[in-house]
Structure formats: C-alpha cells, structure tokens
Amino acid sequence: MFTLGLVVQPEHTYEVSVYNIPEHTVGDYRIVKKIAIPGCHDKIMKHSQKCRENGSLWVPGMSSHASLDRIQKLLFIVVSFKTSEYSERYDVSLKSPGVFSSETVLKENQTFINVTFGLHAPHCKIVIKIQPFFKQCNNDCWSAEQSFDYCFFYTRTSIAKMVFGCAMAGACMVYFLLRTCATCFHPISQESESMPQSADNGTPESTPMAKQKRLLIIYSLDHPLYKNIVLKLCSFLMAKCGTEVVLDMLDSTRLGVVGGLQWLEWHKQQIEKSSDKILILCSRGVQAKWSAMCTGKEVQLREDVYSTVGDMLIPALCLMVPEFVKSPSFEKYIVAYFDSVSTEDDVPSPFNMTVRYKLMKQFEELFFRILDSEKYEMGRVNRIKGLSEEDYHLCPTGGALRKAIEDFHAYQMEHPQWFEEELIENAEMDSDSDFVSLCQNEASQIVSNLAPEATTLLISEQQEHLSVKI
C-alpha cells in the first residue's frame, strides 16, 4: 500500500492507473479508476487555498438603505457589503427597468464598503449586483445578486404626507379653538420685584408665541449616559417646547449619504438664513477636544468609535468657532452645559465671553433666547409654565430628562476617573490633512485675534441678557 499526493483542480476529473513493474504476463493486473474532484461549493473543498482564492468563503452580507431627498427629488440608495481577503476590486451595479448604474470600488484595507446611488425617477423593484475580482477566477468569478423592493418606501412617504397634512389641519383647528385658553401657549406676565405677583395668577399676554423654531445641537459623545441626556433633552424640546431639533443621531441616514462636513455646512447655512439657533452643549469632551485642537493632538472617545456617524464635534468647531466671534452671527449661537454633570470649566475659551446657561436651572432663560424674546422686560418678568427648574420634570419627557441627568451624576460619583476611562488614545493629528491644518490654525489663533471691538460686543451682549429691566 502506498500514497501519492498530487495537486488537483476543483471540478476536474482525473484518471488514475496503477500497475506492477515488471508487468505480469498472465492476466490483467492494471487498475484504472476515474476520480471526480468536487467544486468549491463542497463543504471540504471550499476550505482549500485554491477555492478560498476563488471566493468560496466570501459572505457579502449585502444590505441597502434608502432615503428620499424631496428637494432634489432623488432617491438615494446606499449599498453595504463585506469585502474578502482575496479580492481588491468590486463592481457594484444597480439595475431596474430602463435604469442601469455601476460603480467600481477598491477595498483599500476596508472590511466594509458603502456605495451610494442616486435615482431621479421612482423605482420599486431594483436588482443590486456585486461582482468581485478574485485572484484565481479574475473576470469570471461568481457574483452576489439580490432584489430589493422599495414600493413600501414610496407608499410610506405618501401616507406620511397625508398624515402630516391631516395633523397640520387638526393643529390649526385646535389652535383657533383654544385661543381663549392662552395660558396653554403664551408666556405669563409677572409684575416686577416692586410689585410681586404669583406666576400662576399672572395676566396672560395677548400676543402669541413666535412660530416654531429650529435648533441645531452640537455636543460631544462623552459617555453612553451623557448621550442619553442629549437624546432626552431633544425629546423635551420637541414634545414640551414645540422646537424642531436637528441632531446627527436623529438624521444618520442623510448624514451617511452626504457626509458629516457637508451635513453640518448645509444646516449652518439654513440657520444663517433664518432666525433659528445653534446650541453648543459643553462638557468634558468638548473642552478636551478643543484643547487638543490647539496643541495639534487628537482626543478619541469610545462613543466616537462606536457611533455610526463618528465624532461630529471637531468639524463643527472648525466651521462655527470662527463665525461665533463675528457680530452678525453671534446671536445665532447659544452656549450651555448641564451643571449636575459638567462645570463652567468645560466651556472652551472662545465661549467664555458670552452667556453660559446652566441646565436645567436656566432652561427657561435659554428657551426665551431660542424664541428671540426677553424674560425680563420693563416692569415685569415673563414666565413660561412648565420650564422652570422646579417643574420641568412634571411632564413625561421632562421626568425622563431629569432621571437621565441623575443617572449620569450618580455614575460620576462612583467613577471619579470616568472620563479618563473613556479615552482611547491621544495621537498626533495628520499634518497632511488640509482640513485638520485649518482646524489647528483656527484653534490656535481664534482667542488671540479677537479684536477689541468684538470683545466689547460680546461683553455688552452678555450684560444685555443678564440684566433685569425695571
């Protein structure tokens, strides 16, 4: 008995002949047998090196996500898939009746790739195909193909429009029916300190509140519990205050399509054209990242890595801090921090010359700022029921917000080094990046280059908001 090893190819048939030397003169001692080698789909063969280089172990895990841009009337489809060790190039195509679009992408050490397509016309059933180029099969490799049905997306959009239209009509009817109950919607006027009067017994204002405002929130992902505070604050602003909130975590689909910097720039431009505001929530992470920008370092937190959108704070600071110190745009920015889990030391130096609101102690004052109104006016103090530190938690969203603040405060007491534990690394920033270089330059010069006129303006603005007019 003997064994002979040979290199064979999958899906080939080999004929093996065995006979004795010298051959016997009597009888047939030759043994002939045909051996068929299974293909790479075989559970044993697929682990061979030859089959692995043909993509036998590649599981693309294909998925797609869609979002509709009503302004440009485009349906954006983001195709996601896993790469293989043995393929450096992929053709990703999208096919529908009358439509064909294809993109070639390179792996470039990525384990996961996103490819974005934009369609002008509505299409329901779309076939997405991913054609890899493996080392062995090259242009003749098997491809992953999957059909997706987006009909529900258009149906859902149409239904959403109908629901929204009905809701708006109903809201208008309720508004006019409840005009007589002005205390539900209007600030309550309270007499000045010389003539004290209970806020509950004050005379309602005859002028209704301004229309709904939009608020872009900039923050740092310091900790999962702090992220929960930010989300609960958004719920409180939307449900109790009727404010439209713009937050990266709530718009991850569009952000993933257009990119973080473009997303920030677009919203910043929209706010500059309106009376809407930008709220900067200061915390340990905000101060640490600002200080790191000034020194050319990078601060990375665990939540930045886990987040699908990554760190949005540093791009926001690079875009907004230079504008913050300019008088025309100064009123667009509001600086605040949660004093139970942060301190005034967490406010970066460019923001030290403006009003810094303590939440939730000064939330009512902050909301008046959002509305472009004054809490303190000649002879009276305006109030909004349910927004003070004493009663904001009485509504469901306010109660959830207070609990989130208390949970993070308790965690900080038990873990004094919590922020250091969230830090991953402090690495040198890439000096070849134009954007990073711009950020470093702005961060190092923004405070020293403040003109005396700008300083005077900031101080006067601070005094204006803090003074009580009698």
Q: Which tens digit of pLDDT belongs to each residue from 302-328?
A: 888 888 778 888 888 888 877 766 655
Q: Is residue 294 part of a domain?
A: yes
| pLDDT (0 to 100) of residue 400 | 93
Q: Is residue 327 part of a domain?
A: yes
| pLDDT (0 to 100) of residue 160 | 47
| pLDDT (0 to 100) of residue 174 | 52
> Domain check: are 127 and 87 in the same one?
yes
Q: Which domain holds residue 37?
A: 13-52
> Domain check: are 78 and 28 in the same one?
no
- What is the H or E stretch that residue 454 is in? helix 452-466
Q: C-alpha angle with apex 264: 243 to 310, nearest 5 degrees? A: 100
- What is the H or E stretch that residue 470 is in? none
> Domain check: are 135 and 283 in the same one?
no
Q: Is 23 helix (H, G, I), strand (E, B) or coil?
A: coil
| pLDDT (0 to 100) of residue 451 | 42
> Domain check: are 40 and 131 in the same one?
no
Last residue of a domain, one of 109, 129, 154: 154
> Domain check: are 142 and 234 in the same one?
no
> Domain check: are 379 and 448 in the same one?
yes
Q: Is residue 237 part of a domain?
A: yes
Q: Is residue 199 part of a domain?
A: no
Half-sphere exposure of 32 (CA within 13 A, CB side): 3
> Domain check: are 124 and 249 in the same one?
no
Compute CA 307 distance to the chain's CA centroid, rounded to the nearest angstrom.
7
d(CA 432, CA 415): 38
Report the number of distinct structural domains present in the chain.
3
Q: Residue 340 belongs to a domain with what CATH number?
A: 3.40.50.11530
Compute CA 190 distance to the chain's CA centroid, rounded to the nearest angstrom.
41
Q: Over the Cα atoms of the chain, what is R_g?
A: 32
| pLDDT (0 to 100) of residue 291 | 87
Distances (CA, A) of 243 to 125, 160, 300, 321: 38, 20, 31, 24
| 260 and 315 Cβ atoms separated by less than 8 Å | yes
Q: Is residue 193 part of a domain?
A: no
Flag residues of the chain having pLDDT under 50.
Answer: 155-160, 180-210, 426-436, 447, 450-470
Beta-sheet pairing, 297-301 with 423-428: antiparallel
Q: Is 65 helix (H, G, I), strand (E, B) or coil?
A: strand
d(CA 81, CA 61): 5
What is the pTM (predicted TM-score) of this model?
0.52
Distances (CA, A) of 276 to 143, 217, 352, 370, 458: 49, 11, 22, 7, 19
Q: Is residue 375 part of a domain?
A: yes
Residue 8 CB partners (closer than 8 Å, separation 6+): 14, 37
| 174 and 151 Cβ atoms separated by less than 8 Å | no
d(CA 118, CA 75): 6
d(CA 224, CA 218): 16
Q: C-alpha angle with apex 183: 182 to 186, nearest 5 degrees? A: 70
> Domain check: are 455 and 391 in the same one?
yes
Q: Which of 135, 83, 144 is nearest to 108 (CA)?
A: 83
> Domain check: are 121 and 148 in the same one?
yes
Please name the amino acid found at residue 87: S
Q: Residue 139 belongs to a domain with what CATH number?
A: 2.60.40.2150
> Domain check: are 229 and 112 in the same one?
no
> Domain check: are 48 and 120 in the same one?
no
Q: Is residue 339 part of a domain?
A: yes
Q: What are phi and psi of 92, to 5 degrees?
A: -110, 120
Rounded to 10°, the helix 396-414/224-239 angle is: 160
Q: Is residue 172 part of a domain?
A: no
Q: What are phi and psi of 338, to 5 degrees?
A: -85, 110
Q: Which tens digit of pLDDT belongs to each residue from 205-229?
A: 333 344 578 899 999 999 999 999 9
| pLDDT (0 to 100) of residue 466 | 39
> Domain check: are 129 and 41 in the same one?
no
